[in-house]
Amino acid sequence: MTAMDLTSNYMGLELRNPLVAAASPMSNTIAGIRQLAEAGIGAIVLYSLFEEQVRREAERNRYLSLLEHAVAEVDVPVIASLNGATPGGWTDYASALERAGAAAIELNIYHPLGNPILSGRDVEQRHIQVLTTVKAVVGVPVAVKLHPYFSSIEEMAERLDTAGADGLVLFNRFLQPDIDPDTLTVTAGFGLSDQAEARLPRAWIALLAGRLRASLAATTGVDDASDVAKYLLAGADVVMTASALIRYGPNHARVLLDGLSSWMSRMGFSSVAEVRGLLAVAPAADESGEERAGYVAMLQAADQGNGPW
């Protein structure tokens, strides 16, 4: 198989390939980070440091020390991740992450539950404020990891883009604890993803590709190389993976990359640049019309027994 050109650009960072380790416990230790780099991953996002932890010195220092070691240890970009809800003093901590060598900062913003007075617009505004306060203190690129529950994903993406987001990461998966009715206990609810969950972020990436200045990172539901290929075809600049690395181990990164190269070779592609966005919704198209037309066509095909169902 001839060597494929997998080089990719994410928020101005030059990556050897478009596969990025999403924030997860895989990056809790230097050993885990080294294994990911050895398996060929293009960049690594560290697990998130939470707003509450930023306020505690010991946890802050532990994170900084892991980041510094990781940067010294591996030759791929290491992206730090901050998780918080309010645009407060903790956001200044991003500059310490930059000084420790973070190639970029990913903001994993959530809105706190239990405050019915906070309107949808207020929640959106907080995302913008957290982004702009972090952008004000760092020079490295800043990505915002979004959840899929905004009323208007497109407007939110455009507002973040205008406010200076260098990357958008679509989509985060929420912690969804379960209840065991027999033991009357709440059980941990962060199961690993499955491939079908990639459909929602993929549809949004296909719609947003080519319309924003910000890079697009896909996250959720990557299990095998075909999932990586599909996200790239939809228009993702990079494709992230967490569940599959946890399920199969860090060497699965090599399996995904080899599979991507084989698929490209089979299809006659020689670089990911040729693949990226081939099946995105054309920016000039009226996407609601296009999406609807596609949906109606699918329904009609299903009616005639040729549909996907």
Ligand X SMILES: Cc1cc2nc3c(=O)[nH]c(=O)nc-3n(C[C@H](O)[C@H](O)[C@H](O)COP(=O)(O)O)c2cc1C
| Ramachandran category for residue 119: left, alpha or beta (phi over 0 → left; psi -120 to 50 → alpha) | beta
Among 8, 35, 48, 215, binds ligand X (CB under 6 A): 48
Q: Site size for ligand X, by CB under 6 A? A: 24
Q: Binding to ligand X by residue 145, rule CB under 6 A? A: yes
Q: Binding to ligand X by residue 295, rule CB under 6 A? A: no
Q: Binding to ligand X by residue 236, rule CB under 6 A? A: no
Q: What's the min distance (Å) between Cβ of 303 and ligand X?
A: 33
Question: Residue 45 or 280: which CB sits closer to ligand X?
Answer: 45
Separation of first and last alpha carbons in the chain: 36
Q: Binding to ligand X by residue 135, rule CB under 6 A? A: no
Among 193, 212, 228, 257, binds ligand X (CB under 6 A): 193
Task: Supply the DSSP string of the chain, one letter for each residue.
Answer: -PPPB--EEETTEEESSSEEEPSSGGGSSHHHHHHHHHTT-SEEEEEEEEHHHHTSHHHHHHHHHHHHHHHHH-SS-EEEEEEESS-SGGGGHHHHHHHTT-SEEEEEE---SS-TTS-HHHHHHHHHHHHHHHHHH--S-EEEEEPTT-S-HHHHHHHHHHTT-SEEEE-------EEETTTTEEE---PPP-GGGGHHHHHHHHHHTTT-SSEEEE-S---SHHHHHHHHHHT-SEEEESHHHHHH-TTHHHHHHHHHHHHHHHHT--BHHHHTTTTSPPTTS-HHHHHHHHHHHHHHHHHTT-S--
Q: Binding to ligand X by residue 53, rule CB under 6 A? A: no
Binding mask 89-128 for ligand X (x = CB under 6 A): -------------------x--------------------
Tell me the window of 181-189, 202-210, 219-227, 288-296 that interacts with ligand X (CB under 6 A).
Answer: 219-227
Tell me the window of 51-59, 63-71, 239-247, 251-259 that interacts with ligand X (CB under 6 A).
Answer: 239-247
Q: What's the min distance (Å) between Cβ of 72 and ligand X?
A: 22
Question: Residue 172 or 215: which CB sits closer to ligand X?
Answer: 172
Among 9, 12, 14, 25, binds ligand X (CB under 6 A): 25
Question: Residue 58 or 175: which CB sits closer to ligand X?
Answer: 175
Tell me the window of 59-67, 87-95, 160-168, 235-243 that interacts with ligand X (CB under 6 A).
Answer: 235-243
Q: Binding to ligand X by residue 219, rule CB under 6 A? A: yes
Which residues, 6+ apart, have CB-to-CB distance to 115 below 8 Å? none
Q: Which residues bind ligand X (CB under 6 A)?
A: 22-25, 47-48, 81, 83, 108, 145, 172-173, 190, 192-193, 219-222, 241-244, 246
